[in-house]
Amino acid sequence: MITFKIKRYNPEKQAESYFEEFQLDGTEDLTLLDCLNQIKWTLDGSLTYRMSCRSAICGSCAVKANGHAILACQKQASQLVKDNDTIILEPLGNMKPIKDLAVDFKPFWDKIDKVSPYLQPEKKRLEKETKQSPEQFKLIDDASTCIMCGACYSDCNVLEVDDNFLGPAALAKAQRFVQDSRDVKTLARVKELSKPGGIWDCTHCGECVERCPKPAEPFDRIKEIMTVALEENVTGNNGARHALSFTKSVKSSGSLNENIIPVESVGFFNFKGLFDLLPVGLRMFFKGKNPPILHKSIEGVEDVKRIYRELNE
């Protein structure tokens, strides 16, 4: 017997959400979606959620189970049981619930639209197909597996505090076209994606990779866009400057020079940015937390430099 503790919400009847418990027996071979269907068909027909293919293809049935986003059709209920034989189900995060487990995906789709998710070839009218080599297709293969389920968007830590962030799904979709050999807008794309709310606002927490039910792995795609942006010399922003300063510091001394990295990240001539760093620097100084003024290299720094030389080659 499994107890399903489901977060219910019906604004037409009650302003606040609440949890309701349902119990099912004989669930050994059932997916979580099978169990939701059983609850709806036999216990409460008003329970609302989304589903379609039941084959982990459409992405419709993404929900939160025990605090993390999953595809309901992809997980066996028995694998999700926690203490007291209970599974806690909630709507996806970072989106407003419409009713029960169904959420409003409009902000999600709006951000997908912002990355121009379509090919922009050199000619608007192509008279024949544009071929790709296996190596060229491999660059976009993983991103093409995204099914737009919203699981990564739901659990993204940045979106919880910054609604301006494009989110992992939109950025993974952007990589699909940034590195497509048939697209000619690579530079324009990475310039746009390097603005506030884009690639450099990712905090590298990796939650999107943990929650992605497919090989899309959004964080890896974001890193690939960052690489292209640096290769295209799109470096006039804090994120790119930070990455370059970080690399330079490790390359030269084998460790991070925490005195110079913040300054190089905001820019030597960005007087407002430098002034904004001052209060943090003063607090660190008075609490004795500031790094040594004279930065020393680590022992064996020549090995670090050798690694960089080999990578460059």
Instruction: Residue 157: give its domain's CATH number.
Output: 1.10.1060.10
What share of the chain in percent tops pLDDT 90?
78
Claim to verify: residue 190 and residue 145 sit in the same structural domain: yes
Residue 92 has pLDDT above 90, yes or no: yes
CA–CA distances in Å: residue 75 to residues 7, 41, 81, 216: 19, 20, 11, 18
Domain region containing 34: 2-103
CA–CA distances in Å: residue 213 to residues 37, 72, 84, 89, 292: 21, 11, 27, 18, 45
Claim to verify: residue 179 and residue 141 sit in the same structural domain: yes
Claim to verify: residue 248 and residue 153 sit in the same structural domain: no
Per the listing, tokens 């099978």 go with: 34
Last residue of a domain, one of 211, 231, 251: 231
Residue 273 has pLDDT above 90, yes or no: no
Claim to verify: residue 148 and residue 165 sit in the same structural domain: yes
Claim to verify: residue 110 and residue 84 sit in the same structural domain: no
Claim to verify: residue 218 and residue 155 sit in the same structural domain: yes
SS3 for 208? helix
Claim to verify: residue 273 and residue 194 sit in the same structural domain: no
Last residue of a domain, one of 36, 68, 103: 103
Question: Between 107 and 257, where is the model more confident?
Answer: 107
- Residue 30 sits in a domain whose CATH number is 3.10.20.30
Rounded mean pLDDT, 181-206: 96
pLDDT at position 27 is: 83
Q: Quick: pLDDT tens for 150-182.
A: 999 999 999 999 999 999 999 999 999 999 999
Claim to verify: residue 69 and residue 121 sit in the same structural domain: no
Claim to verify: residue 131 and residue 199 sit in the same structural domain: yes
Rounded mean pLDDT, 180-195: 96
Rounded mean pLDDT, 14-43: 95
Considering its fold, how many domains does the chain have in total? 3
Last residue of a domain, one of 206, 231, 256: 231
The Cα 199–Cα 173 span in angstroms is 12
Q: Quick: pLDDT tens for 29-87.
A: 999 999 999 999 999 999 999 999 999 999 999 999 999 999 999 999 999 998 889 99
The Cα 282–Cα 267 span in angstroms is 19
Claim to verify: residue 168 and residue 191 sit in the same structural domain: yes
Claim to verify: residue 99 and residue 142 sit in the same structural domain: no
Does the predicted model carry a pTM greater than 0.85? yes
The Cα 233–Cα 190 span in angstroms is 10
Claim to verify: residue 89 and residue 137 sit in the same structural domain: no
